[in-house]
Amino acid sequence: MTALRRLAVACALLLAGSAWGGAGAADPLTIRIGYLTRAEEPRIPLTFLEPVVEDEGVQGARLAVVDNDTTGRFLNQRFELVEATVPEGEGVEGAVRGLAAQGIRLLVADLRADALLAAAALPDARAMLILNARAPDDELRNELCRANLLHTAPSRRMLADALAQYLALRRWSNWMLVVGRAPEDAAFAEALRRAAKRYGARIVEEKIWSFEDANRRVDTGHVTLQSEIPVFTQGRDHDVVVVADEADAFGEYLAYRTWLPRPVVGTHGLVPTAWSRVHEQWGATQLHSRFERQAGRWMRPRDYAAWIAVRAVGEAATRTNSADPAVLAAYIRGPDFTLPAFKGQGLSFRPWDGQLRQPVLLAGPRTLVSVSPQPGFLHQFSELDTLGDDQPETKCSGRG
């Protein structure tokens, strides 16, 4: 090492020591972020390759607090996550009031739509900024939108548009749509129908999955699937089988068993998603590895949405150098806010419906196939606004 380089290193260490010493000279500004969820039975995956996960969502929020603190140390800021879990079947109102009584004004909500609306409607929540990190329901961004709600989870229409753009690029324009029996399956199917119309596809045939769930781990279950699915998927010629099975009851069974040799896309096969373990671009492997060290598993979309929500607060605190929840909320909502989130560009919130603009991954089981918006789908302001409800389409009138 030359004398000049040694001098440079010494100066850098001296400056770093001064920065750390200054940060310790005064009590740090503390930013408290609430995290609210409701206990529920964990989903049992269709395959033993996937673990049963009981801490989905909160692990992303916890990692984001660590990330916020990493930057906050240099600005004399610290972050605290105040977690509240409502017992299964109980209302969230008491938990929201309890968080409000503790001074929480920034709340990450890992809740389904009904509980989220109940939380947002409380008088105690009027002074809160609530970040929806789970519910994909399009109504929350339209007729049921609320002024105190932002959404880090992508809407179903965003996911459907991301998939439809790719299918249009591939010229797979004739779809067979297979829909499950759960209410969430019907909701995603409606988003897919809208996307098909938007991007020039035709649903040549639509079928409702009506079979009783078979146990594929026994011989009779395997034989039943192998005999029923080819007959079920007979019909008009199509380019692709599009599946709406958010309940994860049958979609995994369709690939390699359809009557015609066609790709399976939607909730299974090629999946539009906010996050996937197969995503490796733009530094995503670094986030994967840190999350795996903390949680002992892969990051999932709910974890990522919660991570973004907490990181949004951290980014606002960095930019404003403030711990005032009102200042942070105003900055997050404002035109200058952008958040780096391992997707190749800064993310921001749409002012008309509170939805986070973000690229959507198109993930196969073992590799990332593409990322939407697709090339050629242009927009006068942001290509990200080709996914989901654009401003002229919004039915949100509750954000004034």
Q: What are phi and psi of 19, to 5 degrees?
A: -65, -45
Q: Give the relative orientation of helices 113-121 and 93-101 as an angle to the nearest 10 degrees.
A: 50
Among all chains, which residue has been given the structure tokens 């509240």?
Answer: 84
Interstrand relation of 129-132 and 106-110 (parallel, antiparallel or unpaired): parallel
Task: Say what the pLDDT of residue 2 is.
Answer: 44
Distance CA 98, CA 95 (A): 5
**The architecture CATH gives domain 157-272:** 3-Layer(aba) Sandwich (3.40)
Give the closest residue to 96 by CA, choosing from 87, 88, 59, 105: 105
Task: Say what the pLDDT of residue 154 is.
Answer: 98
Q: Is the peptide bond before 373 cis (omega within 30 degrees of 0)?
A: yes
Distance CA 100, CA 239 (A): 52
Distance CA 285, CA 298 (A): 11
**Tens-digit pLDDT profile for the chain (400 aa)?**
444 444 343 344 334 444 444 444 588 899 999 999 999 988 877 777 788 889 999 999 999 999 999 999 999 999 999 999 999 999 999 999 999 999 999 999 999 999 999 999 999 999 999 999 999 999 999 999 999 999 999 999 999 999 999 999 999 999 999 999 999 999 999 999 999 999 999 999 999 998 876 555 555 556 678 889 999 999 999 999 999 999 999 999 999 999 999 999 999 999 999 999 999 999 999 999 999 999 999 999 999 999 999 999 999 999 999 999 999 999 999 999 999 999 999 999 999 999 999 999 999 999 999 999 999 998 989 999 999 999 999 999 866 5
- Between vectors from CA 50 to CA 45 and to CA 56, what angle results, nearest 5°? 80
Distance CA 131, CA 355 (A): 10
CATH 3.40.50.2300 in the chain, residue ranges: 15-154+276-358, 157-272
Give the closest residue to 251 by CA, choosing from 189, 307, 296, 311: 189
- Between vectors from CA 152 to CA 70 and to CA 242, what angle results, nearest 5°? 130
* Contact yes or no for 85/38 (Cβ under 8 A): yes
Distance CA 316, CA 304 (A): 18
Task: Say what the pLDDT of residue 23 is.
Answer: 43
Give the closest residue to 148 by CA, choosing from 196, 97, 208, 105: 105
Among all chains, which residue has been given the structure tokens 């409701």?
Answer: 38
* Residue range 15-154+276-358, CATH number: 3.40.50.2300
Task: Say what the pLDDT of residue 218 is.
Answer: 52
Length reported for the chain: 400
Distance CA 228, CA 268 (A): 18
C-alpha gyration radius of the chain? 23
Task: Say what the pLDDT of residue 4 is.
Answer: 44
Concatenated DSSP letters for 116-185?
HHHHHHSGGGTT-EEEESS---GGGGTTT--TTEEE-SPPHHHHHHHHHHHHHHTT--EEEEEE-SSHHH
Task: Say what the pLDDT of residue 214 is.
Answer: 53
Task: Say what the pLDDT of residue 6 is.
Answer: 42
Tell me, rounded to whole angstroms, the distance of Cα 277 from its chain centroid.
Answer: 13
